[in-house]
Amino acid sequence: MSEEKDNTPGQSLISITDEMKKSYLDYAMSVIVSRALPDVRDGLKPVHRRILYAMIEGGYDWSKPYRKSARVVGDVMGNYHPHGDAAIYDSMVRMAQEFSMRLMLVDGQGNFGSIDGDPPAAMRYTESRLARSSESLLRDIDKDTIDFIPNYDESQLEPSVLPAEFPNMLVNGAGGIAVGMATNIPPHNPGEVIRACKALIKNQNTSLDELMEIIPGPDFPTAGLIMGRAGIREAFRTGRGSVIMRSKAEIIQTGKNLDRETIIISEIPYQVNKALVLEKIGDLIRDKTIEGISDLRDESDRNGMRIVIEIKRDVQGDVVLNQLWRHTRLQTSFPVNMLALDNGQPKQMGLIEILKAFIDFRFEVVTRRTKFLLNKSRNRAHILAGLMVAITSIDEVIELIKASSDPDNARKELCAKSWPAKEVAHFIKLIDEPDHQIVDDHYKLSVTQAKAILELRLQRLTGMERTKLEKETEELSNQIKEYLIILSDKTKLTDLIQNELNEVLTKIEDPRRTEISDSVVDHDDEDLIQKEDMVVTVSHRGYIKRVSLSTYRAQRRGGKGRAGMKMRDEDTVTSLFVTNTHTPIL
């Protein structure tokens, strides 16, 4: 049935097919733009952006006391994010987990979950505030650096993007499933990413190879190893690739005579659940998929991770480790898919494209901030010019105000009169706007200046206060000149951005955790087989039998012969030779 019929008079027929297409497309675009994909400029999805903005608006700064997480979630849900409280809290929890974020954006107090997959405590028990690194994402948000858009009920405004000072999308990564597309961006080292930005600002033609000398690859919060560089290069070049991650493992000699080997695992791949890995190893031991393990212990504590795997005597640790790589998530791959919103459009982006998009945004933010500060300084300077004119003619101003019938009349009279400005002409020329110049040593006050004069407190008429006004005027003059230079000179603007990147670098720089190995993962079947001497027997009837040499030599009490020689009735051994499990026979 393709049409829905309505017999109500005046109602037209609606095609179900057309309605489904339109409604589903609207839904798909909503998920893509407003939920699942991060913005390339600040690296945040709407829910994360709203959480950070609600926290700064509520005063939950890193320097303030912790607040109940339920309070933050309530602010976000009531003002900006009309979805479930569980979804908001889960997003906030992830931003406070050191094993999920390369640079935590929320500072949590209480149980925020663990790498073993333990769930966080309910939001009524935990407390949170902004992490210090979030300061660099939110700074200058009140200086007209970004556009604000109406919230869901149009009762207030929320930021469309945060004025980020570092490429958060690369630093913290992102993951999300939209409709018909998905994103999976690995985290990177904060210091390396900022240095790459600086290099690209200095030379826009910096090649991918040169950038990869600065950013050799992802840097996961759980450390571990990355095997090979081909997958990293492909991901950086095209935005898609696969990175093989491996646990950091060490084989040590143990036992009284150091005749046994033990595997110590101190780091595991990103987003791998430690408890599930241990459970999987236990299943493999029970199913006899891996037979060389005698004991398995988790000795992790607050000082770090330590998984102990004891190997049976006469079994090689290397072979067991290779079996663990093959059958468990101690070795896994990270499918890189760097898809993000660029100017509101979902776009597959390589490393250079992501960095350039951020740099363009940074230039826009600093330019808008400088214009805002320039206008603010000019407005203040304009008021100061009026105050200084009024102070030099204070007796006349007081007489005029006393003679006026009401404040409106006083304001009109102040604006209508030309005031002598010879004494303060030097300061007025320094700071005032072009359309308010001194003519014949006289100056016309604007409505804004007249209001400021009417609100002037008597204490501002003292000599000390006048000196303060003159000093503030000179400072504003210097500021205005500096802002005009920045806006007119691209080199000055670039230097300012580079200096600000240096400041952020000193605050968030952190040593690399993930080691990148040039060796490529390539396991043969032989790597999974223990080296062991075997006896192979071939019988007259064509039967081939393989027996461990140690079993073949065993002779039980009573001396009844060797088990390896037993054959079927009327069958005899025609060939017998000793070989190794790694020796090819056919």
For 485-498, how does the pLDDT look when each residue is reduced to its tens digit (9 = 90+)? 999 999 999 999 99
Phi, psi at residue 124, to the nearest 5°? -75, -15
pLDDT value for 131: 97
Per residue in 443-455, pLDDT tens?
Answer: 888 899 999 999 9
Residue 17, Cα to own-chain centre: how many angstroms?
Answer: 41
Mean pLDDT computed over 542-560: 68
Q: What single-letter DSSP state applies at residue 35?
A: I
Mean pLDDT computed over 334-351: 95
Most confident option among 358-362, 441-445, 575-579: 358-362
Q: Which residues contact 321 (CB under 8 A, 6 or more apart)?
A: 249, 251, 263
pLDDT value for 1: 43
Q: What single-letter DSSP state applies at residue 527?
A: G
- Radius of gyration, alpha carbons of the chain: 36
Mean pLDDT computed over 166-182: 95
Would the pLDDT of 550 be above 80?
A: no
Q: Is the dihedral of CA 111, 114, 120, 121 positive or negative?
A: negative
Would the pLDDT of 435 be above 60?
A: no
Mean pLDDT computed over 512-540: 77
Per residue in 267-281, pLDDT tens?
Answer: 999 999 999 999 999
Would the pLDDT of 460 be above 80?
A: no
pLDDT value for 4: 47
Q: What single-letter DSSP state applies at residue 300?
A: -
Reported as a pLDDT band with limits 50, 70 and 90, residue 426 is confident
* Pairwise CA distance, residues 448 & 455, whole Å: 11
pLDDT value for 249: 95
Angle (nearest 5°) at CA 420 between 414 and 422: 145
Q: What single-letter DSSP state applies at residue 36?
A: I
pLDDT value for 541: 80
φ/ψ bin of 236: left (φ > 0), alpha (ψ from -120 to 50), beta (otherwise): alpha
3-4 vs 67-68, strand pairing mode: unpaired
Q: Which of 15-24, 100-109, 166-175 comes out lowest in average pLDDT?
A: 15-24
Would the pLDDT of 184 be above 90?
A: yes
Reported as a pLDDT band with limits 50, 70 and 90, residue 110 is very high
Tokens matching residue 221: 């919060």
For the chain, first and last CA: distance in Å?
Answer: 65
Mean pLDDT computed over 2-30: 77
Q: Which residues are catalytic?
A: 125
Environment class of 6 (CB within 10 Å of its CB; exposed 0-12, middle 13-18, buried 19+):
exposed
* Pairwise CA distance, residues 554 & 37, whole Å: 66
Would the pLDDT of 563 be above 60?
A: no
Tokens matching residue 411: 């304001």
- Name the residue among 379, 402, 398, 380 with its Cα closest to residue 461: 398
* Pairwise CA distance, residues 199 & 210, whole Å: 9
- Name the residue among 376, 374, 447 with its Cα closest to residue 407: 447
Per residue in 399-416, pLDDT tens?
Answer: 999 999 899 999 999 999
Reported as a pLDDT band with limits 50, 70 and 90, residue 2 is very low
215's enclosing H/E stretch is: none
Place of tokens 């095209």: 238
**Cβ(427)–Cβ(473) under 8 Å?**
yes
Q: Which of 174-183, 250-259, 305-314, 500-509 comes out lowest in average pLDDT?
A: 250-259
Mean pLDDT computed over 527-537: 72
pLDDT value for 441: 81
pLDDT value for 554: 55
Average of per-residue pLDDT values in the chain? 89
